[in-house]
A = this chain, B = another copy of it.
Amino acid sequence: MDLKLSDEDKLVQRTAARFVERELLQLEGSFLKQTKPFLPPGDPSRRGLDAHLRETLREKLKKIGFWALELPEEAGGGGLSHTACVLIYREFGRTALPFEPPSIPFVVKKSKFVERVVAGELSVALAFDETHKTGDLSEVGARYRKQPRGYCLNSSPVDVLNPSADIFILPAREEGLDKIGLFLLEKAMPGLVIDGEEDLTADQTVARLSLTECALDNDRIVGNEEDLCRLIATEQLHLAARSLGMGRRCLEDSLEHARNRVTFGRPLSARQAIQWMLVDLSLKLRTSTWLTLQAAWQADQGLPYFHSAALAKKCATRMAFDAADTAIQIHGGYGVCKEFPFESFYRDARLMRLLNGREDEINKKIAAQFVNQ
């Protein structure tokens, strides 16, 4: 057993940490700061990164090689291990600035779009609404059938969380059969409709994607059931990694605040109610960290890791939510203000808990494995 990071992983982690500190945390304050002294009536508007700034940051990312992380080097990607990706996303999770290396589903490498995707000209999103609930395949609702020179797809509306993407990856079940295929859909294709875009409580939108007799060429099927499971597990590791970063940031800032803030003649850090909250958080952070790293290591070793990734995702996203909740509580009135990052983490983490397998569904899967093992 050797739980030290390899030199290579350590380098990746340090590079990511430096980028986050120098490029992102520097900007976070001004990003969160309200622009007008007085608010207009109505709900706060959705926050997003300025397009120009986003472009600049993306170029910087490319320069340090943090681009298309999971894709193999021959496809123009970083060829990074699951462990390395976890270490990177974990660092990017520390800031409320909504920016991280784009996650490119590995199935894209099989498509003719791969070059334009790697070049950043096309963005890809997963249309995984159905799998969000269970983190498995039981809810896949879209249907396909083979037809001469390709496939025909139909799907009642599914929620997509990144409706502005250019390409969507959608799982569908073969009509009358149980076989699952992963399809690559271009936004502009006939039969594909995206509508009903609405704000979520996190700073992003959701829209409905539906397919009506949508005809696809043969090359648009980019994966099978196993690939879908791997994509879900990869997403789970991604969410877990981001959560670890959020958790660490919340803990760090809360410790700092508790040390400095004096009430009734003593610092908050002298109060057991505050200490206990932070102790519990540190424990959850630690266990989530090891569950996530272990799942990533299993993936890298070619060992079964779907269950571990699901467990890591469940524990880590819950930890991140609790971490944000604790940070808000310890910061009191400031905690709920949008100028501090905690309420943003709180809203994001609540959504992350709902994606790619809800707690209850993951618990049931783990229980089924336990009972049948």
Contact = CB atoms under 8 A, between A and B. Distances in A.
Interface string A253-288: 000000000000000000111001000000000000
Contacts of A276: 272-273
Contacts of A271: 272
Interface in A265-320: 271-273, 276
Nearest to A276: B273
Interface residues of A, number: 4
Identical chains in the assembly: 2
A276 B273 CA distance: 8
A276 B272 CA distance: 10
A325 B273 CA distance: 19
A228 B276 CA distance: 47
A58 to B, nearest CB: 48
A222 to B, nearest CB: 44
Nearest to A274: B272
A288 B149 CA distance: 70
Contacts of A273: 272-273, 276
A276 B275 CA distance: 13
Nearest to A273: B272
A273 B273 CA distance: 6
A116 to B, nearest CB: 52
A261 to B, nearest CB: 16
A330 to B, nearest CB: 14
A195 B276 CA distance: 50
A273 B271 CA distance: 9
A239 to B, nearest CB: 31
A273 B278 CA distance: 13
Contacts of A272: 271-273, 276
Interface in A223-257: none
6 contacts: A271-B272, A272-B272, A272-B273, A272-B276, A273-B273, A273-B276
Interface of A: 271-273, 276
- Nearest 6 CB-CB pairings of A with B: A272-B272, A272-B273, A271-B272, A273-B276, A273-B273, A272-B276
